[in-house]
A and B are shown apart, each in its own frame.
Chain A
């Protein structure tokens, strides 16, 4: 925290001490944020206005932010630079003496940024650096939305002008976060690397430091009490699972990828237990330009559990707290998922799921006091209380008539298991089913995923793929409309029909659609047949070629001459989907199943920016 504060102080000092070279005058009444696309919040506009004012005062350049909708951009066939030019020439932007101005024009629809310089600003910031800004700044859109590229553009310019305030001629600045070509990642941090970094990371001899603190709060984001609580929880998990749990915060990743930096911290400080140094390390990187968290898994057992689906779920929980700056709460919640992951194989697990290695004897639920009673286990609260008796009665009647168990279970909380695996385990560990074959059928309904039907014994034999498909075809439309009661009753009705006849009844709509489909096939076939038959009826045809009478063909000369190349481009909207499991609370994880740290050790990682 101290280091971060010092950094901010240095920036503030630079901003306040740097004086303008001349005494420029500006049209202060003009807005410096022109949000034509109406994509910025009022707070973002005010923030950028303040940044522009400070920039203008410090560097003598009038910095204007513009957002444009795509139809403005394409509709007039103009480039973003033309839009900047149009505004600059129409209004009195820029220093009155040399007209210094910089326009950052952002089109969110196509994620394109233009940084256009005018007047004296063209001398102060080099073209190469402008290109550098245009290349890097749009990347901040994913993490920070439309405000990100605009803010990044002024920050980059600020960095450049600070670095070159004494230079007679502008020189393109290197990206401080980018390792220089030809240097190793370790060399890239030379000069600013933490003390724990070894001289020669590639030949580092691993060691075990079982007594080291499991919480290293360089970024100072935890209070002492919070730090103690997290440390205690780490040791609790270590004692229970034999796997390491480490929490590390810093204000920078020193030019390294966050997962590499986190893995280096774990490797070079002797963390991990056992031959494979099993454990999980969580990094909070508080770098203002690269803020995020990253979890690194080490050791084959830990990495096997740290699947993309599990890690995404853990990231979801942490992310919800991180975006609210509830770092300690987030870490404690994350630690709970770590413990559950190690003990039950999934970050969030129901109580009935036994721990890994724990013995379990399958019994019918009537013999298990902890198993759910009745035919409805509505943990998600999908049903009104008055609806449940009706469903229970219908299920009981069908179950007794056909000698099978029927269960309807709803679940709102996601687990690390996929929905089919969850249904199977729920059925198994809750003793559902009647008789020796555990004959029964289960419907699990989720608010965020398709429902799942699982059956065993006599019901399982009749639940063929076709019957399952039909049943799903009846239930999905109802759950999509949040008609969970209708879905449950349909499930019971279909189950009864299936047990009686061996098949799930088809709906009238299904028959009609088959009829329509048959008619379409018939029309196509009839038309094609008629066309073919008609062609055979008309035999006299005028010949227009003489191919049957060619007795010799020679290609005596051929030249293929290139004329020109035309280029067209088609915009493909970026797909913003979570890379994790079926449910995500916000942001998206960057998951790596295998990467190498600076020591060469293999790890898995997952993390998010916030």
Chain B
């Protein structure tokens, strides 16, 4: 690979590497303090908006996932690509999914432009809104209300390295329409002599529904846990910017690596479930409503966006617990330690307290003559 496939974010004043600052939304030089407003350079132009709009209207099935996957797997079969740092000339090796690099020699922030060019170019990017400095506060808020989290965890836990990562997402919009059939019952009982007669009338409930969906994100990275990414929702997609490599400066970024069928199936499954539930909600007045199936057509389209996520681990007792933070809203998700002894103690204290309170109240009532 030549150095033509990389783009550096260097300070125009002093030539030092620049990074994207989430707090100000600008490119910042930590050496001379120069700030560059990305929006001056990367405001969504009419031409770029046209491209985004065009993507909005593009059918996922029309996107050449096959060719892209073929390229990914073909490249994987060969040796990993080598890039040359423009600043110091060092040779850099990256994973196939990596979009950004930081030169280990000169700390230069590098965007691998061939990974985000052409068909691989994202339709947009949602920039980080919160900074890594705000993460401890967000994590502390996350701990609140977690009654099974022992004090030992607070005292011993330590946050590992925080990675700001632009995660590739496919964002689906579209329409579902079709028919769903349910069976439902209406019953009434009456007395006849010494018998209670119950009559149950059975009905077929036919429903034709039409639903519009917009901006359903499905993470396109195989390396990240789907449940973790689902739990970070919602993302505010009104804040989406036209893609500019400048937003990636100082952050890690991946490109998609999940087969097209899986992504579209996941999105359509979620939409389909909602369509069935919406149809079922119209069957009021019936009991025992059971779906008999139906036929719903999906017409969905996708945009390829990079969404901001912080990833970090918390170490405690020799174990690490993975966490993710929505880089836009600060929402934290992650598993917490499951301490069986602490849980038993938690149960026992409450059970004993209520039992003791019952006895005390009873005794007080007795001695007060109540």
A residues in contact (CB < 8 Å) with B: 110-111, 464, 466-467, 501-503, 506, 511, 514-515, 517-519, 521-523, 525-527, 529-530, 533-534, 536-574
Q: Please report which residues of chain B, range 274-323, place their CB below 8 angstroms from some CB of chain A when the two chains form the complex.
A: 274, 277-279, 282
Q: Please report which residues of chain B, range 173-226, place their CB below 8 angstroms from some CB of chain A when the two chains form the complex.
A: 177, 179, 183-184, 191-192, 194-216, 225-226
Contact B358 A517 (CB under 8 A): yes
Q: Please report which residues of chain B, range 6-32, place their CB below 8 angstroms from some CB of chain A when the two chains form the complex.
A: none
Known: A502-B369, A555-B282. A514 touches B359 (CB 8 A): yes
Closest Cβ of chain A to B86, distance in Å, is 40
Contact A573 B194 (CB under 8 A): yes
Contact A539 B208 (CB under 8 A): no
Contact A571 B202 (CB under 8 A): no
- List, sorted by A's number, 12 A–B pairs whose CB atoms are closer than 8 Å: A110-B194, A467-B369, A503-B366, A522-B351, A529-B147, A540-B334, A549-B215, A555-B208, A555-B279, A562-B201, A569-B192, A571-B194
Contact A522 B353 (CB under 8 A): yes
Contact A503 B147 (CB under 8 A): no
Known: A522-B355, A538-B335, A562-B203. A553 touches B278 (CB 8 A): yes
Contact A540 B362 (CB under 8 A): no
State A506–B369 Cα separation when bound (angstroms): 11
Contact A536 B147 (CB under 8 A): yes
State A554–B273 Cα separation when bound (angstroms): 16
State A561–B335 Cα separation when bound (angstroms): 48
Task: From the candidates A466, A515, A518, A533, name the one contacting B147 in the complex (CB within 8 A).
Answer: A533
State A313–B135 Cα separation when bound (angstroms): 85
Q: Please, which residues of chain B bring their CB within 8 A of the CB of A511?
A: 362
Task: From the candidates A514, A558, A573, name the one contacting B358 in the complex (CB within 8 A).
Answer: A514
Task: From the candidates B333, B359, B362, name the one contacting A539 in the complex (CB within 8 A).
Answer: B333
Contact B358 A464 (CB under 8 A): no
Contact B208 A556 (CB under 8 A): yes
State A557–B213 Cα separation when bound (angstroms): 20
Contact B196 A570 (CB under 8 A): yes
Contact B212 A555 (CB under 8 A): no
Contact A536 B273 (CB under 8 A): no
For B366, the closest partner residue in chain A by CB is: A506
Give the interface segment out of B64-72, B105-113, B242-250, B341-349.
B341-349
Closest Cβ of chain A to B167, distance in Å, is 15
Closest Cβ of chain A to B322, distance in Å, is 9
**B117 contacts A by Cβ under 8 Å:** no
State A389–B354 Cα separation when bound (angstroms): 48
Contact B273 A503 (CB under 8 A): no
Contact B147 A569 (CB under 8 A): no
Q: Please, which residues of chain B bring their CB within 8 A of the CB of A552?
A: 210-212
Closest Cβ of chain B to A459, distance in Å, is 14
Contact A541 B230 (CB under 8 A): yes
Contact B204 A529 (CB under 8 A): no
**B77 contacts A by Cβ under 8 Å:** no
For B196, the closest partner residue in chain A by CB is: A570
Known: A536-B147, A541-B230, A572-B195. A560 touches B205 (CB 8 A): yes
The number of A-B residue pairs with CB atoms under 8 Å apart is 216
Contact B211 A550 (CB under 8 A): yes
Contact A525 B354 (CB under 8 A): yes
Q: Please, which residues of chain B bring their CB within 8 A of the CB of A562?
A: 201-203
Contact B269 A522 (CB under 8 A): no
State A559–B354 Cα separation when bound (angstroms): 53
Q: Please, which residues of chain A bring their CB within 8 A of the CB of B204?
A: 559-561, 563
Contact A466 B200 (CB under 8 A): no
Task: From the candidates A533, A555, A571, name the one contacting B207 in the complex (CB within 8 A).
Answer: A555
Contact A558 B269 (CB under 8 A): no
Known: A533-B148, A558-B207. A546 touches B198 (CB 8 A): no
Closest Cβ of chain B to A248, distance in Å, is 35
State A538–B335 Cα separation when bound (angstroms): 6
Q: Please, which residues of chain B bring their CB within 8 A of the CB of A514?
A: 358-359, 362
Contact A522 B274 (CB under 8 A): no
Contact A526 B347 (CB under 8 A): yes
Q: Please report which residues of chain B, range 138-175, place their CB below 8 angstroms from some CB of chain A when the two chains form the complex.
A: 142, 145-149
State A562–B199 Cα separation when bound (angstroms): 13
Contact B227 A526 (CB under 8 A): no
Known: A545-B273, A548-B233. A540 touches B228 (CB 8 A): yes
Contact B212 A525 (CB under 8 A): no
**B271 contacts A by Cβ under 8 Å:** yes
Find the residue from A523, A525, A540, A574 having the highest chain B CB count within 10 A.
A540
Contact B230 A542 (CB under 8 A): yes
**B1 contacts A by Cβ under 8 Å:** no
Q: Please, which residues of chain B bring their CB within 8 A of the CB of A503?
A: 366-367, 369
State A564–B199 Cα separation when bound (angstroms): 10
Contact B209 A540 (CB under 8 A): no
Task: From the candidates A467, A530, A553, A565, name the one contacting B210 in the complex (CB within 8 A).
Answer: A553
Find the residue from A110, A566, A571 having the highest chain B CB count within 10 A.
A566
